[in-house]
Homo-oligomer: A and B are copies of this chain.
Amino acid sequence: MARIAPLSGFPELLPAQRVVERDVIASLSSTFELHGFANIETRVVEPLDRLAKGGEIDKEIYVLRRLQADDSADDTGLGMHFDLTVPFARYVLEHAGHLEFPFRRFQIQPAWRGERPQEGRYRQFTQADVDIVGRDTLAFHHDVEVMTVMVDALDRLPIPPVAFQFNNRKLIQGFYRGLGIGDVTAAIKVIDKLDKLPAEQVARLLVEQAGATAEQAERCLELATIRVPDTSFVERVRALGVTDDLLDEGLAELAAVIEGCAAVDAPSVSVEANLRIARGLDYYTGTVVEIFMEGYERLKSVGGGGRYDALATDGKTTYPGVGVSFGVSRSLLPLLADGVLAGSRPVPSAVLVAVVDEESRTRSTDVAAALRRRGVPCEVAPSASKFGKQIRFAERRGIPWVWFPGDDGADTVKDIRSGEQVAADPASWTPPAEDLRPQVLTPTATPSIPTTTEENTP
**Contact yes or no, A36 B378, CB < 8 A:** yes
One of A86-94, A194-202, A299-307, A420-428 at the interface: A86-94
Contact of A68 among B47, B114, B349 (CB under 8 A): B114
**Contact yes or no, A382 B114, CB < 8 A:** no
One of A7-15, A217-225, A333-341, A404-412 at the interface: A7-15
Which residue from chain B places its CB closest to the CB of A64 in the assembled complex? B62
Residues of B within 8 A of A45 (CB): 7, 10, 124
**Contact yes or no, B43 A22, CB < 8 A:** no
Contact of A90 among B4, B11, B62 (CB under 8 A): B4
Q: Is residue A397 contacting chain B, with contact meaning CB distance below 8 A?
A: yes
**Contact yes or no, B36 A13, CB < 8 A:** no
Cα(A380)–Cα(B124), bound, Å: 36
Q: Is residue A244 contacting chain B, with contact meaning CB distance below 8 A?
A: no
Given known A-B contacts A6-B94, A12-B95, A94-B4, A34 and B377 have beta carbons under 8 A apart: yes
**Contact yes or no, A66 B75, CB < 8 A:** no
Q: Is residue A383 contacting chain B, with contact meaning CB distance below 8 A?
A: yes
**Contact yes or no, B67 A396, CB < 8 A:** no
Contact with B along A345-373 (1 / 0, CB 8 A): 01111000000001001000100000010
Q: Is residue A177 contacting chain B, with contact meaning CB distance below 8 A?
A: no
**Contact yes or no, B66 A40, CB < 8 A:** no
User: Which residues of A in the span 37-85 have a Cβ within 8 Å of any Cβ on B?
Assistant: 37-45, 47-48, 58-68, 72-73, 75-76, 78-80
Cα(A346)–Cα(B4), bound, Å: 44
Contact of A12 among B18, B42, B99, B376 (CB under 8 A): B42
Q: Is residue A379 contacting chain B, with contact meaning CB distance below 8 A?
A: yes
Residues of B within 8 A of A358 (CB): 141
Cα(A132)–Cα(B87), bound, Å: 36
User: Which residues of A in the span 119-167 have a Cβ within 8 Å of any Cβ on B?
Assistant: 124, 134, 139, 141-142, 145
Cα(A14)–Cα(B72), bound, Å: 36
Cα(A124)–Cα(B114), bound, Å: 21
Given known A-B contacts A18-B38, A41-B18, A139 and B382 have beta carbons under 8 A apart: yes
Given known A-B contacts A37-B348, A314-B1, A12 and B91 have beta carbons under 8 A apart: yes
One of A100-108, A185-193, A203-211, A284-292 at the interface: A100-108
Residues of B within 8 A of A378 (CB): 34-36
Which residue from chain B places its CB closest to the CB of A42 in the assembled complex? B12
Q: Is residue A400 contacting chain B, with contact meaning CB distance below 8 A?
A: no
Q: Is residue A417 contacting chain B, with contact meaning CB distance below 8 A?
A: no
**Contact yes or no, B67 A65, CB < 8 A:** no
**Contact yes or no, B66 A63, CB < 8 A:** yes
Q: List 21 A-B contacts (CB under 8 A).
A: A1-B313, A7-B43, A10-B43, A14-B98, A15-B99, A18-B38, A34-B348, A36-B348, A36-B377, A36-B378, A36-B379, A38-B346, A44-B112, A45-B124, A61-B66, A61-B68, A63-B64, A65-B65, A68-B114, A100-B396, A141-B358
